[in-house]
Structure 1
Amino acid sequence: MVKNGQTSITDVAYRPELGAPIGMDVLDFTELRARGRRRGIDLGAPMRPAFHHLIHVRAGTLHHSVDFTDHELPAGSWIWIRPGQVHRYTPADLATARGTFVIWQPGFVAAEPPYDQSPLLPTGPHARAVQLALRHLTQEYADLASIPLDAHIEAVRHLLAVLLLRLAHAGPAPASPVLADDTFRRYHAAVERDFARTHRVADHAASLGYSVRTLTRATLAATGHTAKQHLDARILLEAKRLLVHTDASAAAVGTRLGFTDPGDFSKFFRKRDGRTPLEFRAMARGRGG
């Protein structure tokens, strides 16, 4: 999005339509385009929603970008986008493809997206099962008046959980499945909240009541990376988002991310990406050599 000549990321709050169950909403591609127009949101510009997106393509193809990864989603595919991820639609595809969006606030269901955010294309019995779960959810969502509101909300909450469980088992099983434990989940949440406040794992460990070793062990089990690598990757991701989707100077980006010296930010970025912040910006915007 461009504001006064400056590129920016649009923060999108959760605002369901009137009559939608509290905490979640189901809409098709046509309604998404209409909402974008009503709310003045450019769907082709980078946006950072504060809620979950589950996108299912029923017909056609949807090209979708999520945090510097471009996805081509054919008919039958699904993708789950976490709150806070920066993504953008291809408006022309939204006009020709058909599909469904399920959006919900964090905490509406207990299930969380897998750490790997790759699109999913279920086949065979899995495809039939997830389609049945989606139809059941969509029908219950539309049937607002036949049961009390509290019961209706609980019904769609459970049906959404069923859909997410079906999708979780619709892809190939990992070679060594590992469930993230509560220690990593708490550390991940703390990093999401405070990555710009402190760049030290020891500070997060102290605030959570763990040792650095405990956080490192839990993060390695959940992600294959150390606690420090996980924290640095989150800082680097936010730096890349700001460098590509805003026109802030590299120094301003570093300050926003908690670096007091622009040189320290440049060294941090180059060590982890291999380019300076401005070299990365030029390459990401198609101006690199």
Structure 2
Amino acid sequence: MLVNTRQDDITGRAFPTTAECPADSFGAPAPSLEIVTISRLRAGGAGRSQPFRPDRHCLITLTSGALRHAVDFREHAVAPGQWLWARPGQVQQWGDLDRAEGTVIRFTTGCLDPDTAIGVCADDPHAPVLRSPAAEDHALLRAATTQLQWEHSADRLAPDTRRQVLRHLLAVLVLRIASLPGVPAGPEQGEVYLAFRDAVERDFANTRTLSDYAEALACSPRTLSRATIAAVGMPAKEFIDRRVVLEAKRMLACSPIPAARIGERLGFSSPTNFNKFFAQRTGTTPITFRSQVLAPQ
């Protein structure tokens, strides 16, 4: 039986400190909902930052210019009107902010009511990162964003009332964003693949053996591979290995934990085995990867 024993290390950020962003009624020390302009981030030196791994959602939209923003080591080109949604625990890195103007909304899943969180798959790490609205959606999204900004900056309501107003307005915005098509749109994903994907997300630190997942899901390894190839274009075993590599990269980039200890947390029996696994799939060693990703931009 697969049991999740993984512990994530989430460190680093590129947002204003609590002193720079006054706490609101969601609580202290850090506000559960923050809304800042890209110009403010730029003034605070966030551009070309080192990787950071926040425990919050991050929504980014531009009003003008262009921005490249990396999520889990993949760079996304954000154009005006598009929405980038990075989930808690994903590694982010700002590109050059000099040519971009827009808004960044940062919030915890707890800011959403439970029904909304479920409806938008708030904590789905496989959800599309970049979404592009149709022309008729732009005005609705701008109105929802502006209303949320106005209420967030106002301080005329009782704290409990303000909290509920912000929660409802945030729900309107994320429901609209979640309904937008991803960029690029992928193939439809079947039930077998989705069950396998969720099992890997839950247990990748405990086993990298395909037959373990097949047994847990009461199907054959071949069935899992067919479903995974159809959904994402790779065999099931490769899917498992890529998830392990991603977590290793996240921890190498955003925590001070020694590479040997990271390998141990990911279920490797020795540093040598971890180094070999990582190098075979990335072309570099864990230590070299850490040096490269943390090098000044």
TM-score normalized by the length of structure 2: 0.67
Q: Distance in 1 between matches of 2:169 and 2:200?
A: 27
| Equivalence map 1:95-114=2 (5 Å) | 95-109=98-112, 110=117, 111-113=120-122
Map of 2:76 onto structure 1: 71
Q: Distance in 1 between matches of 2:186 and 2:42?
A: 40
Pick from 273, 277, 284 the counterpart of residue 285 of structure 2: 277
Q: Distance in 2 between matches of 1:107 and 1:184?
A: 27
| Equivalence map 1:54-133=2 (5 Å) | 54-90=59-95, 92-93=96-97, 95-109=98-112, 110=117, 111-113=120-122, 115-133=126-144
8 A contact 1:243–1:277 mirrored in 2? no
Q: Tell me: CA distance 1:52–1:247, structure 2 relative to 1, closer, same or farther (3 Å).
A: closer
Q: Distance in 1 between matches of 2:110 and 2:239?
A: 23
Q: Distance in 2 between matches of 1:242 and 1:204?
A: 24
| Equivalence map 1:189-228=2 (5 Å) | 190-191=202-203, 195-196=204-205, 199=208, 211=217, 213=219
Map of 1:165 onto structure 2: 175
Q: Distance in 2 between matches of 1:257 and 1:239?
A: 8
Q: Distance in 1 between matches of 2:161 and 2:290?
A: 53
Q: Tell me: CA distance 1:43–1:10, structure 2 relative to 1, closer, same or farther (3 Å).
A: farther
* 1:55-95 C-alpha deviation (Å, 9 max, x unpaired): 111111122122221222222222001111111113x41x4
Query: Amino acid of the residue matched to residue 190 of structure 1?
Result: R
Q: Distance in 2 between matches of 1:159 and 1:213?
A: 43
TM-score normalized by the length of structure 1: 0.69
Do structure 1's residue 234 and structure 2's residue 243 form an aligned pair? yes
Map of 1:3 onto structure 2: none
Map of 1:53 onto structure 2: 58
CA RMSD of aligned residues (A): 4.5
**Greater RCO, CA 8 A, separation 6+:** 2
Could you tell me the percent identity over the aligned residues?
31
Question: In terms of mean alpha carbon deviation, does 168-177 or 50-59 score higher?
Answer: 168-177
Unaligned runs of 5+ residues in structure 1 are 1-8
Q: Tell me: CA distance 1:72–1:269, structure 2 relative to 1, closer, same or farther (3 Å).
A: same
Q: Tell me: CA distance 1:249–1:19, structure 2 relative to 1, closer, same or farther (3 Å).
A: closer
1:125 is paired with a residue whose SS is helix
